[in-house]
Amino acid sequence: ATARVEILQPCVDQYQKWDRAFIDAVLANLGGLLSAPRSQKPALVVWPETSIPRWVARGLAAAEGARWAKALGAPQIVGIIAGPEGGTGPANGVQLVASDGKAAGFYAKRELVPFGEYVPFRGLIPRYVIENWLAVLDQLGDMSAGAADQPLFSTPFGPMAVTICYEAMFPRWSRRDAARGARVLVNVTNDGWYKDTWGPYQHFGANVMRAIETRMTVIRSGNTGISAVIDPYGVVTSRLDLNVRGRLDADVPLGDSFPDRSFYVRHGDWFGTLCLALLALAFLLKALLR
């Protein structure tokens, strides 16, 4: 059995995305994709990274996500920037909005981009040094990273794990989430930064590897692409190419072909560690036998 997933790829211009003059146009773009004709009701709708161009409170559903969740009767996975809360800074996050329009889950990005989303060791630099000589640091990101183990999202496809943007480059996160019960992986991203370079293609390829090594279906939504559904064998079953605005309607299996996941999920990175240990042993033996 399968169910329909709708994946949004709005292709918002990178230089308009955070310009307040374009906020209505950005939201109208998303609304246009969501209001386009559909052949059947979706079971889930996935929006790309930072879809909503303003801060959203973590415990409150983004207004646009809530409106469409209720209109379609389907949960929404919405990329947001969560505002500061409880002494922590803003977070690059993903919100699960239930079909009743209420916030049902939140995920904060764990692997932040150095100098883009945070400045390493910023807290060790005296404030007067920043104000007088390193004022540029105040123009860089100051986000808070999420906890390693965050609640999985409850979806029609089973427990869902999330990675945001380049977190997909780090297999430890998807492996960790699969080991604690995830059955499907969503990656939301905004690769508009890289324009027509190899970057978006390499980034997409990493998601294919995450599907294969965890034996999970990967659902990917990118602002400018590549949006796709990748099955547990690494086969791209549905795809929307780079820089193509549209909505990808894809049928995703509800069942789990690999309930025990993969050897890698069960046993981790011991093979790489073993190779390093054997290499070190070989160097040691060579030195001793001289």
pLDDT tens digits for range 139-192: 666 788 889 999 999 999 999 999 999 899 999 999 999 999 999 999 999 987
Answer yes or no: is pLDDT of 137 > 90: no
pTM, full prediction: 0.87
Task: Taking each helix axis as running N to C, give the angle between helix 23-34 and helix 63-72, from 0 to 180 degrees, rounded to the nearest 10.
Answer: 10
- Catalytic residue, candidates 109, 117, 167, 213: 109
In the residue annotation, 195 being an active-site residue is answered as no
Closest listed residue to residue 255, CA positions, set 215, 206, 208: 215
- Asked if 1 and 244 count as a contact pair (C-beta separation under 8 A), the reply is no
In the residue annotation, 131 being an active-site residue is answered as no
- Catalytic residue, candidates 64, 117, 165, 213: 165
Task: Taking each helix axis as running N to C, give the angle between helix 199-214 and helix 171-179, from 0 to 180 degrees, rounded to the nearest 10.
Answer: 30
Q: Is 265 left (phi over 0), alpha (psi -120 to 50) or beta?
A: alpha
- Catalytic residue, candidates 49, 64, 167, 213: 49
Q: Mean pLDDT in the chain?
A: 89
In the residue annotation, 6 being an active-site residue is answered as no
Q: How far apart are CA 118 and CA 125, in angstroms?
A: 14
Q: How far apart are CA 148 and CA 38, in angstroms?
A: 37
Answer yes or no: is pLDDT of 122 > 80: no
Confidence of residue 134 (pLDDT cuts 50, 70, 90): low
- Asked if 109 and 146 count as a contact pair (C-beta separation under 8 A), the reply is yes
Confidence of residue 51 (pLDDT cuts 50, 70, 90): very high
> What pLDDT, on the 0 to 100 scale, is given for residue 149?
92
> What pLDDT, on the 0 to 100 scale, is given for residue 72?
94
- Asked if 207 and 186 count as a contact pair (C-beta separation under 8 A), the reply is no
Residues constituting the chain: 290
Residue 257 CB contacts under 8 Å (≥ 6 apart), including other chains: 215, 232
According to the CATH classification, is domain 2-108+153-259 in 3.60.110.10?
A: yes
Q: How far apart are CA 273 and CA 268, in angstroms?
A: 10
> What pLDDT, on the 0 to 100 scale, is given for residue 256?
82
User: What are the extents of the domains in the chain?
Assistant: 2-108+153-259, 111-144
